[in-house]
């Protein structure tokens, strides 16, 4: 009976358990909407604040029962410690706080897990060794230490997904951040924290391709300590899939043109004051963006060291990396207590090609086809002397004094060490070939040794290795070169002789900015005296126009001279080559100049200078190159034919130029300068000491000022020259050069003007102005195309006949002494009004190869008598003048 009734209580218990479970489910489903927990918002905020050790604010709280009881918090803000700024350390729009169920059985409400998404976390540093996480850890550590008779407030499990971590230096927010970050932070045991982080490094002030900045993974464990730098830490950090160009933009803010794939690993054990660090940096296919080396430059560097944060002491540094078929080893210590550092670098059969590829990676401009062979081996060590410590007590015995004096004399007899740098590097079988080098440059053996430092310069930055060697350069005397290599940059000097061909090859292979200056030159050997220096790394802001050979405002400085003798120069915009008997190119940090240049261009001879300023960057206006040219006696027709190319057939010059004139007219370079001459012959007119300021354009030139002595007076004018092959106003292409001249003349001597016209002029000075447009290559072309206006005034003048002048004159109808040529009268007399006058003013027209004076455009005054003259001056050598004398226009009575 008893056995039969035994299963019933068990069934009843199962039934009650099922009913309770159903009740719980129903409560979970239906009760929360009817519960208001807004009154618990401040309690939850206080609870989270007690767990984190920071003030916490939130906007609202909602209860969530599934999948685990907890709260959904909106607009959560964790305030910052005022010592680190006013911006919150953490802000999230939505947060889920999960409740520890066991704490409810003990009658307490505890947060077991806080999950945030799309949050913003600030890491703040206010001074070396002081981060906002330091106070957070210390506050949290204090919370987990049970006070006497008190209770522990355990730190909740913190996790953030798809969040952003910002870095601040005090109140300044740095541009560096970690995006798409997943962060977990929890305690496995009281005082034992674990950190897990994954994110993509980013920079807010530049545009980055996040897919190429790599991914950072971090795993760390931290034990409780009174200060952050004393916390025992085990950290494993990996930065992988980083592209070198984007990584450079991330760290430096600009892309220097480096390419390659990088992976970095770091392991740290100990504390910040006693950290054992191991690193590994792997790189593959490192090169510049504009070229790919024949063999990829890869390296795998492994380093180990001990670091003490408080004293900034680095000891036991050892780095090893294979490179090509060789090996590099770096070792040393850097004490942080004021003692000098000790370092050594050992190279074992490192390929020179790897060094060239490394140089081309950090510096652009080297020919991508340049190849190097050879091996570098040796060891260089750096060790400064320890500060001298004087003896604490003087020697008392005479024997000790004599011994000390003997030791002092012995030490003085020994040579003092040259400096803290010791050792040497030997380069065997160095050969440079390829690119612009038609034959290789060979240096069988090159030894780099320390240079004795200057007085007071014993720091690592001032130490240098130097080597002296000779380089055959196709001339009787080789180039003597000295190379100095330092930690931050290089110095290179060279002097001697080089052939033009070899100098061009070396300049192009070295990527010199001024190499274009040699491309159009040929002749005898060049005398070289150059010095160059600069840093290994160049900021991206540096810009110079290497294609035009313009020195830039960059950190490289090239100074010195190149001297030429018996050379020739050919430019596309000139019809023939220029013979240079002597020229010196001066290279400086601000400009490049040719001074002087003694030249001849066909029959034209002179001395010139050319100054090319450093290149500029927008929006700064660029100053064009400037020049000066000094001629002796010069003929305009010869100069024009030499510069533009003579088109008059049958001359020796035109035949020579025809062989060199290109089929299409190239653009002239932009220049500004001054042209002077002892004299300039313009047909029948000779200008004495002419001086013209010019602005050379790609289509011709502008004469901004012209001054000269002419015909006993002075002339001042401006003008333009438009080269053949340019577009005319009607849209057609000019087949001849065109000129526009406008000027004023003053105090011309009448006798000189009359001689020009084949007449006898006398009296006061002649003043006037005019404007003329011409085109063509020859005198005939210029005379036939001339159009313009002429105005002059002449006081107290007189014109007398010259027997060589042919005149065709008509007789004034009021004159009884003259006959009309139509009536058979003589035609040998000048107009009577010009025999003597008080004032003659003329406004004439220039056209159809002559200057025409119409009666309505001029007036001759003598006393109260006024008359007009009709005349024409036909261009020629000499000019042909014809007159016609009309009737008087006025007879005034006094």
For 448-463, give the DSSP string.
Answer: EEEPPPPTT--SGGG-
Distance of CA 327 to the CA centre of its chain: 35
Q: Count H helices, E strands: the chain?
A: 13, 46
Distance CA 212, CA 249 (A): 11
- Read off the tokens for 521: 């030159």
By the 10 Å C-beta count (0-12 exposed, 13-18 middle, 19+ buried), 394 is classed as: exposed
Distance CA 539, CA 408 (A): 51
Q: Where are the alpha helices (DSSP H) in 321-456?
A: 352-362, 398-413
Torsion of CA 507, 510, 512, 515, to 10 degrees: 20
User: Which H/E stretch holds residue 470?
Assistant: strand 464-471
> Do residues 630 and 644 make contact, with C-beta atoms less than 8 angstroms apart?
no
Distance CA 848, CA 536 (A): 68
Per-residue confidence (pLDDT) for residue 807, from 0 to 100: 38
The β-bridge relationship of strands 626-635 and 671-682 is parallel
Task: Name the residue with tokens 């979970």.
Answer: 28
Angle (CA) 650 655 659, round 5°? 155
- Low pLDDT (below 70) residues in the chain: 1-12, 14-40, 51, 65-66, 100-110, 128-129, 135-155, 292-296, 364-368, 385-419, 454-459, 511-517, 538-555, 572-575, 615-621, 640-668, 801-829, 877, 885-894
> Do residues 283 and 298 make contact, with C-beta atoms less than 8 angstroms apart?
yes
Angle (CA) 465 467 468, round 5°? 155
Per-residue confidence (pLDDT) for residue 367, from 0 to 100: 63
Per-residue confidence (pLDDT) for residue 445, from 0 to 100: 92
Task: Name the residue with tokens 């001029």.
Answer: 858
Length of the chain: 894
The Cβ of residue 585 has, within 10 Å, a number of other Cβ atoms equal to: 21
Per-residue confidence (pLDDT) for residue 737, from 0 to 100: 83
Q: Where are the alpha helices (DSSP H) in 472-626?
A: 500-510
Closest C-alpha among 483, 457, 451, 459 to residue 469 = 483
Closest C-alpha among 786, 682, 773 to residue 720 = 773
Distance CA 47, CA 158 (A): 14
Distance CA 374, CA 524 (A): 33
> Do residues 466 and 449 make contact, with C-beta atoms less than 8 angstroms apart?
yes
Which residues sit opposite 893 in a β-bridge? Answer: none
Distance CA 410, CA 406 (A): 6
Q: What is the DSSP letter of 727?
A: B
Task: Name the residue with tokens 């007398």.
Answer: 800
Task: Name the residue with tokens 């410690």.
Answer: 81
Cβ density class 288-312: b for 16+ within 10 Å, e for less? beebebeeebbbebebebebbbeee
Cβ contacts of 411 within 8 Å, gap of 6 or more: none
> Do residues 170 and 85 make contact, with C-beta atoms less than 8 angstroms apart?
yes
Distance CA 818, CA 801 (A): 16
- Read off the tokens for 555: 């950190």
pLDDT in tens, 824-843: 333 336 788 888 999 999 99
Q: What is the DSSP letter of 26?
A: H
Q: Where are the alpha helices (DSSP H) in 33-80?
A: 41-52
> Do residues 765 and 737 make contact, with C-beta atoms less than 8 angstroms apart?
no
pLDDT in tens, 468-522: 999 999 888 899 999 999 888 889 999 999 998 888 888 877 766 666 667 778 8
Three-state SS string over 820-835 comes to CHHHCCCCCCCCHHHC
Distance of CA 364 to the CA centre of its chain: 12
Distance CA 90, CA 80 (A): 8
> Do residues 561 and 584 make contact, with C-beta atoms less than 8 angstroms apart?
yes
Distance CA 501, CA 17 (A): 102
pTM score of the predicted model: 0.66
């Amino acid at each position: 009976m008893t056995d039969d009734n035994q299963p019933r209580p068990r069934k009843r218990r199962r039934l009650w358990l099922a009913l309770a479970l159903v009740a719980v489910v129903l409560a979970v489903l239906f009760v929360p909407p009817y519960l208001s927990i807004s009154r618990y918002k401040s309690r939850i905020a206080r609870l989270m604040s007690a767990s984190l050790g920071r003030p916490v604010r939130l906007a609202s709280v909602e209860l969530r029962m599934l999948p685990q009881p907890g709260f959904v918090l909106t607009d959560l803000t964790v305030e910052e410690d005022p010592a680190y700024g006013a911006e919150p350390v953490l802000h999230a729009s939505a947060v889920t706080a999960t409740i520890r169920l066991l704490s409810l059985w003990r009658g307490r409400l505890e947060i077991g897990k806080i999950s945030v998404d799309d949050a913003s976390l600030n890491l703040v540093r206010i001074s070396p060794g002081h981060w906002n996480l330091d106070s957070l850890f210390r506050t949290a550590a204090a919370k987990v230490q049970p006070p006497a008779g008190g209770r522990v407030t355990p730190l909740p499990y913190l996790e953030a997904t798809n969040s952003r971590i910002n870095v601040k230096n005090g109140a300044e927010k740095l541009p560096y951040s970690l995006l798409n970050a997943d962060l977990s932070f929890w305690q496995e045991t009281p005082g034992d924290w674990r950190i897990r982080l994954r994110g993509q490094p980013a920079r807010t002030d530049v545009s980055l391709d996040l897919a190429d900045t790599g991914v950072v993974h971090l795993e760390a464990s931290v034990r409780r300590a009174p200060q952050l730098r004393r916390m025992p830490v085990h950290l494993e950090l990996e930065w992988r899939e980083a592209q070198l160009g984007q990584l450079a933009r991330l760290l430096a803010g600009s892309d220097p043109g480096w390419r390659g794939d990088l992976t970095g690993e770091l392991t740290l054990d100990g504390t910040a004051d006693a950290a054992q660090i191991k690193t590994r940096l792997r790189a593959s296919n490192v090169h510049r963006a504009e070229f790919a080396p024949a063999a990829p430059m890869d390296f795998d560097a492994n380093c180990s060291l001990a670091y003490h944060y408080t004293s900034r002491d680095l000891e036991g540094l050892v780095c090893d990396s294979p490179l090509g078929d060789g090996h590099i080893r770096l070792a040393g210590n850097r004490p942080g207590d004021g003692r000098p550092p000790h370092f050594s670098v050992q190279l074992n059969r490192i390929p020179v090609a790897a060094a060239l590829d490394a140089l081309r990676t950090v510096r652009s401009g080297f020919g991508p086809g340049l190849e190097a062979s050879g091996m570098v081996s040796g060891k260089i060590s750096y060790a400064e002397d320890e500060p001298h410590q004087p003896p604490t007590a003087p020697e008392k015995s005479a024997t000790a004094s004599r011994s000390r004096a003997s030791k002092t004399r012995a030490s003085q007899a020994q040579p003092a060490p040259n400096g803290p740098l010791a050792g040497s590097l030997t380069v065997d079988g160095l050969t440079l070939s390829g690119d612009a080098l038609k034959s290789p440059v060979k240096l069988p053996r090159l030894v780099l040794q320390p240079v004795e430092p200057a007085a007071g310069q014993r720091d690592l930055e001032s130490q240098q290795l130097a080597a002296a060697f000779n380089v055959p350069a196709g001339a009787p005397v080789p180039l003597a070169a000295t190379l100095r290599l330092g930690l931050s940059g290089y110095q290179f000097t060279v002097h001697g002789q080089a052939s033009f061909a070899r100098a061009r090859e070396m300049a192009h292979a070295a990527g010199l900015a001024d190499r274009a200056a040699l491309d159009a030159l040929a002749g005898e050997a060049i005398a070289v005296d150059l010095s160059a220096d600069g840093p290994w790394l160049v900021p991206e802001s540096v810009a110079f126009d290497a294609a035009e050979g313009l020195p830039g405002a960059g950190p490289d400085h090239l100074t010195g001279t190149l001297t030429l003798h018996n050379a020739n120069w050919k430019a596309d915009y000139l019809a023939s080559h220029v013979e240079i008997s002597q020229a010196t190119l001066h290279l400086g940090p601000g400009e490049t100049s040719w001074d002087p240049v003694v030249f001849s261009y066909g029959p034209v001879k002179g001395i010139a200078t050319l100054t090319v300023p450093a290149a500029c960057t927008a929006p700064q206006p660029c100053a064009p190159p400037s020049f000066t040219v000094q001629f002796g006696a010069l003929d305009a027709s010869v100069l024009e034919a030499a510069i533009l190319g003579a088109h008059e057939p049958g001359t020796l010059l035109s035949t020579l130029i025809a062989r060199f004139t290109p089929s299409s007219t190239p653009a002239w370079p932009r220049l500004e300068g001054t042209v002077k001459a002892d004299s300039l012959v313009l047909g029948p007119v000779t200008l004495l000491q002419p001086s013209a300021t010019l602005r050379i354009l790609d289509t011709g030139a502008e004469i901004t000022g012209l001054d000269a002595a002419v015909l006993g007076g002075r002339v001042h004018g401006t003008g333009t020259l438009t080269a053949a092959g340019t577009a005319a106003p009607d849209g057609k292409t000019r087949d001849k050069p065109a000129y526009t001249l406008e000027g004023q003349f003053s105090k011309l001597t009448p006798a000189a003007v009359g001689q020009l016209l084949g007449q006898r002029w006398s009296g006061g000075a002649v003043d006037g102005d005019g404007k003329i447009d011409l085109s063509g290559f020859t005198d005939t072309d210029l005379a036939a195309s001339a159009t313009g206006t002429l105005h002059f005034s002449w006081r107290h003048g007189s014109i007398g006949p010259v027997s060589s002048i042919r005149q065709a004159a008509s007789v004034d109808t009021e004159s009884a002494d003259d006959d009309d040529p139509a009536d058979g009268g003589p035609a040998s007399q000048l107009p009577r009004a010009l025999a003597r006058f008080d004032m003659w003013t003329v406004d004439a027209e220039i056209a159809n190869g002559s200057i025409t004076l119409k009666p309505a455009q001029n007036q001759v005054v003598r006393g109260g008598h006024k008359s007009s003259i009709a005349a024409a001056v036909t261009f020629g050598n000499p000019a042909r003048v014809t007159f016609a004398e009309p009737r008087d226009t006025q007879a005034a009575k006094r």
